[in-house]
């Protein structure tokens, strides 16, 4: 400021000097005629020059001084700036250091170190805690040192435990060595006891072998086997369970299956790898290659599929080499597992050497080849004909798949249940199985199946044996040979003249007997066939066709009400000829004996489905249709002579009544426990009914003689009273 003032002062001075000089110049100019003034002015002007010179010098000196001052100040400024830069650099460095410290992360963060919590530390080391005071850093340091000490302690403990473990392991190893050796010793012991076992009839070794074989069984058969074996153990029952078939084959199959599984697993891994590669490619390409993807996938699926079923895909009936055999009484039931259908089939055959093998059994004596038929198992439970596979999946896999009915092994539902295979019934589209279906299945699975099945098998075999003995007696026309004969008070007078089987051959049965109504119709047709009037037969057949379509519908209705249709095979038909006993008084008719023909159908479900009798009169002379002219000229004598013959038309009411009596009422008249002998009861009842009809009068004629006050006939159909059965 001083410099600036000084400079401005000098400037003012200079300006002042210059102003005075201009005045002097003006005076010089104005004093052109006046010398004095001119001189004075010149003197002044000279003085003024001097003054200007001095002032100029002072100004220059001032400038010089200012410059010097400025240079000095600049130097000073530069110095100061250098210092400032140093300080700033220092500050930045320190800040960076601070940030680095703040951002520091340890290789082990607090969580992984698992430092004990502050509270724990306070509890475990109270003294150190007090020492540390309130400084969190100090506390932390204390905590760390405490932790370190603790860890060291634990390491020592671990070492101790390791040592103990080693000693224990050594002990175990030595004991195991002993046990391994024990097995061999025991085997030797067992081998040495074999003669003893044989002597005492203890099947220990056999059982063991069987168990080994059981391990090779497919799961469903294993279930069957274990359940049956368990039932045998539990109830000490009189049946035997065996495993039949080639163990070697089963082992081979198992090995093959294991190999296939391994292969499958490997393939799946490869497939997964291939898939990732494919995906990568697909991404890299960035194009849509859906079709290719699909074909590749399907190919892979096909390959694996082929791999699984490469061996046996061709034949749906390929069976597992091992079978479970149930020997009960005189029959042996064989359960077979079919891989491809995933069903268990059962069949029955007479037991080989049954009598000798089961001498210890209580009920074995009743057995024998003749009680065992193919159809023994048909409809063992209502509606279980075994005619088709219960596994719906078979049908889906091969469209329109039908189980081959000519096979002896049949996939009965009870066999599946025994094997733990529960196939749900198909549910109509759009109706999900409700909760009640689930509870039904649950309930279904809690049934005592093995006992039920065994009881059913026993009952079926007992009734079949009873049926066979009755049939044998009937074939001999030996009424007294029937079990029922012992209970009769009075033997029927009518005779059984013949009894023979007229069951059509197997092929025919399958063709005609697809379902129940058809079988019934066949029976009706037989009856109609006896009519010689062509028009009648044609008319009947026309009616029959309509009826057949109706019966299909009605059959469906019946099945809704748990009606179980008869089986498709195994119905045997017999033709019985009964000669009615003539009353002693009616000597004049003795020349024409009346023979009643009964066609008896015995179903395999006997006795649940009782035998049915269809009656007709034996026609000796085929009657000619009466020509109209003959009718014109007929008179009493013609009618009377014709009347001597008993013809089926005459007796149709009577025959229908007897049929009703035998087929419907006799079942209700049975004494308890007589179910198995129902065929015998029915035959006896038939004879009794024929007796009663013959007693009253000639067939279709009026009463031969008055029989007291008692009413002999009742109702429009002229029903006769029948004596009580027993």
> Where on the chain is the footprint of other proteins (CB under 8 A)?
533, 535-536, 539-540, 543, 550, 623, 626, 628, 631-632, 634, 636, 638-639, 642-643, 645, 647-650, 652-653, 656, 700-703, 705-706, 709, 711-718
Minimum CB distance to other proteins smaller for 396 or for 552 = 552
Secondary structure (DSSP) of 102-166:
HT---SS-HHHHTPPPHHHHHHH-HHHHHHHTT-HHHHHHHHHHHHHHHHHHHHHHHHHHHHHHH
**In angstroms, what CA-CA distances link 327 with 224, 420, 454, 457?**
14, 20, 11, 11
CB 544 to other proteins: min, Å? 11
CB 549 to other proteins: min, Å? 12
Taking alpha carbons only, the member of 375, 577, 330 closest to residue 475 is 577
- Enumerate residues 6+ apart whose C-beta is below 8 A from 371: 329, 330, 331, 461, 464, 465, 468
CB 484 to other proteins: min, Å? 28
State how far the Cα of 294 lies from the Cα of 401, in Å rounded to an integer: 29
CB 690 to other proteins: min, Å? 18
Minimum CB distance to other proteins smaller for 462 or for 712 = 712
Structure tokens at 398: 């091969």
Minimum CB distance to other proteins smaller for 376 or for 646 = 646
Provide the 8-state DSSP code for 487: G
CB 562 to other proteins: min, Å? 21
CB 647 to other proteins: min, Å? 4
CB 429 to other proteins: min, Å? 28
Minimum CB distance to other proteins smaller for 154 or for 587 = 587
CB-based burial label for 71 (10 Å; 0-12, 13-18, 19+) = exposed
CB 721 to other proteins: min, Å? 9
State how far the Cα of 120 lies from the Cα of 375, in Å rounded to an integer: 83
Minimum CB distance to other proteins smaller for 388 or for 659 = 659
3-state secondary structure of 351: coil
Minimum CB distance to other proteins smaller for 360 or for 724 = 724
Minimum CB distance to other proteins smaller for 296 or for 718 = 718
Minimum CB distance to other proteins smaller for 406 or for 629 = 629
CB 595 to other proteins: min, Å? 16
CB 552 to other proteins: min, Å? 14
Minimum CB distance to other proteins smaller for 328 or for 657 = 657
CB 625 to other proteins: min, Å? 8
Taking alpha carbons only, the member of 386, 423, 488 closest to residue 723 is 488
Neighbouring-strand partners of residue 614: 599
Minimum CB distance to other proteins smaller for 1 or for 546 = 546
3-state secondary structure of 596: strand
CB 587 to other proteins: min, Å? 15
Provide the 8-state DSSP code for 586: -
State the alpha helices, DSSP H only, in 644-677.
648-660, 666-669
- Enumerate residues 6+ apart whose C-beta is below 8 A from 217: 225, 243, 250, 320, 322, 324, 337
Residue whose structure tokens are 């400032």: 84
Minimum CB distance to other proteins smaller for 608 or for 652 = 652
Q: Tell me the helix, strand and coil percentages in the chain, rounded to 5.
A: 60, 10, 30
CB 216 to other proteins: min, Å? 58
Minimum CB distance to other proteins smaller for 460 or for 540 = 540
Minimum CB distance to other proteins smaller for 284 or for 621 = 621
Secondary structure (DSSP) of 276-294:
HHHHHHHHHHTS--HHHHH
Minimum CB distance to other proteins smaller for 152 or for 557 = 557
- Strand order through the sheet with 343-350: 239-245, 322-328, 331-338, 343-350
CB 646 to other proteins: min, Å? 8
Minimum CB distance to other proteins smaller for 208 or for 539 = 539
State how far the Cα of 721 lies from the Cα of 260, in Å rounded to an integer: 76
Radius of gyration of the chain measured on its C-alpha atoms: 61
Show contacts of 443-452: CB within 8 Å, 24+ apart: 447/417, 449/227, 449/414, 449/417, 449/418, 450/227, 450/228, 450/230, 450/231, 450/418, 451/231, 451/235
Provide the 8-state DSSP code for 390: S
Minimum CB distance to other proteins smaller for 244 or for 650 = 650
CB 437 to other proteins: min, Å? 27
Structure tokens at 313: 């895909």
Structure tokens at 294: 């699909």
Q: Is cis: bond before 607, omega within 30 of 0?
A: yes
CB 724 to other proteins: min, Å? 16
Strands (E), 301-386: 322-328, 331-338, 343-350
Three-state SS sequence of 696-707 = HECCCCCECCCC
Taking alpha carbons only, the member of 360, 363, 417, 355 closest to residue 386 is 417
């Amino acid at each position: 400021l001083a410099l600036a003032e000084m400079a401005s002062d000098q400037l003012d001075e200079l300006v002042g000097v210059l102003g005075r000089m201009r005045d002097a110049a003006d005076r010089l100019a104005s004093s052109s005629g006046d010398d004095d003034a001119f001189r004075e002015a010149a003197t002044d002007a000279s003085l003024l020059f001097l003054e200007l010179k001095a002032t100029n010098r002072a100004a220059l000196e001032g400038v010089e001084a200012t410059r010097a001052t400025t240079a000095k100040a600049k130097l000073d400024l530069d110095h100061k700036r250098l210092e400032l830069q140093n300080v700033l650099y220092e500050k930045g460095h320190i800040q960076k250091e601070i940030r680095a410290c703040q951002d520091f992360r340890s290789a082990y963060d607090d969580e992984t170190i698992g430092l004990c919590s502050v509270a724990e530390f306070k509890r475990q080391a109270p003294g150190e805690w007090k020492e540390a005071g309130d400084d969190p850093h100090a506390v932390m340091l204390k905590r760390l040192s405490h932790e370190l000490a603790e860890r060291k302690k634990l390491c020592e403990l671990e070492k101790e435990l390791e040592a103990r473990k080693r000693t224990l392991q050594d002990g175990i190893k030595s004991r195991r060595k002993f046990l391994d050796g024990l097995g061999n010793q025991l085997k030797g012991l067992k081998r040495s006891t074999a003669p003893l076992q044989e002597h005492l009839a203890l099947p220990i070794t056999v059982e063991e072998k069987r168990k080994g074989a059981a391990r090779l069984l497919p799961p469903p058969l294993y279930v069957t086997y274990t359940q049956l074996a368990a039932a045998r153990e539990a109830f000490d029952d009189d049946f035997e369970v065996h495993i039949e078939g080639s163990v070697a084959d089963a082992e081979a199959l198992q090995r093959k299956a294991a190999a296939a599984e391994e292969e499958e697993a490997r393939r799946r891994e490869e497939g997964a790898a291939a898939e990732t590669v494919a995906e990568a490619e697909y991404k890299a390409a960035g194009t849509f290659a859906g079709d290719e993807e699909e074909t590749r996938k399907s190919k892979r699926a096909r390959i694996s599929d082929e791999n699984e079923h490469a061996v046996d895909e061709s034949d749906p009936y390929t069976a597992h080499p091992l079978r479970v055999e149930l020997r009960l009484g005189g029959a042996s039931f064989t359960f077979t597992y079919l891989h491809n259908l995933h069903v268990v089939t059962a069949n029955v055959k007479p037991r080989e050497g049954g009598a000798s093998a089961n001498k210890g059994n209580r009920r074995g004596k009743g057995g024998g080849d003749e009680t065992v038929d193919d159809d023994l198992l048909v409809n063992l439970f209502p509606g279980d004909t075994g005619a088709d596979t219960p596994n719906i999946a078979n049908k889906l896999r091969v469209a329109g798949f039908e189980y081959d009915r000519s096979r002896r092994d049949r996939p009965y539902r009870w066999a599946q249940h025994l094997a733990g295979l529960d196939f749900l019934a198909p549910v109509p589209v759009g109706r999900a199985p409700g909760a009640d279906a689930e509870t039904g299945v649950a309930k279904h699975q809690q049934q005592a199946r093995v006992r039920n099945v065994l009881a059913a098998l026993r009952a079926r075999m007992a009734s079949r044996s009873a049926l066979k003995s009755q049939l044998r007696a009937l074939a001999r026309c030996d009424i007294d040979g029937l079990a029922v004969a012992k209970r009769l008070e009075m033997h029927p007078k009518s005779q059984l003249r013949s009894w023979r089987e007229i069951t059509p051959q197997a092929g025919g049965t399958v063709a005609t007997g697809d379902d129940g109504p058809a079988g019934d119709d066949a029976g009706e047709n037989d009856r109609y066939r006896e009519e010689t009037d062509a028009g009648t037969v044609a008319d009947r057949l026309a009616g029959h066709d309509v009826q057949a379509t109706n019966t299909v519908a009605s059959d469906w209705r019946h099945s809704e009400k748990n009606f179980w249709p008869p089986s498709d095979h195994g119905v045997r038909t017999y033709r019985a000829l009964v000669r009615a006993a003539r009353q002693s008084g009616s000597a004049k008719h003795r020349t024409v004996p009346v023979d009643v023909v009964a066609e008896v159908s015995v179903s395999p479900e006997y006795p649940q489905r009782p035998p049915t009798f269809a009656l007709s009169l034996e026609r000796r002379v085929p009657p000619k249709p009466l020509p109209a002219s003959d009718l014109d000229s007929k008179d009493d004598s013609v009618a009377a002579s014709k009347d001597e013959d008993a013809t089926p038309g005459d007796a149709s009411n009577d025959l229908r009544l007897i049929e009703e009596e035998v087929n419907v009422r006799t079942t209700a008249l049975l004494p308890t426990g007589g179910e198995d002998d129902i065929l015998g009861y029915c035959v006896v009842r038939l004879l009794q009914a024929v007796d009663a009809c013959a007693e009253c009068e000639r067939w279709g004629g009026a009463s031969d003689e008055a029989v007291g006050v008692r009413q002999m006939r009742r109702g429009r159909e002229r029903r006769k009273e029948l004596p009580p059965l027993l």
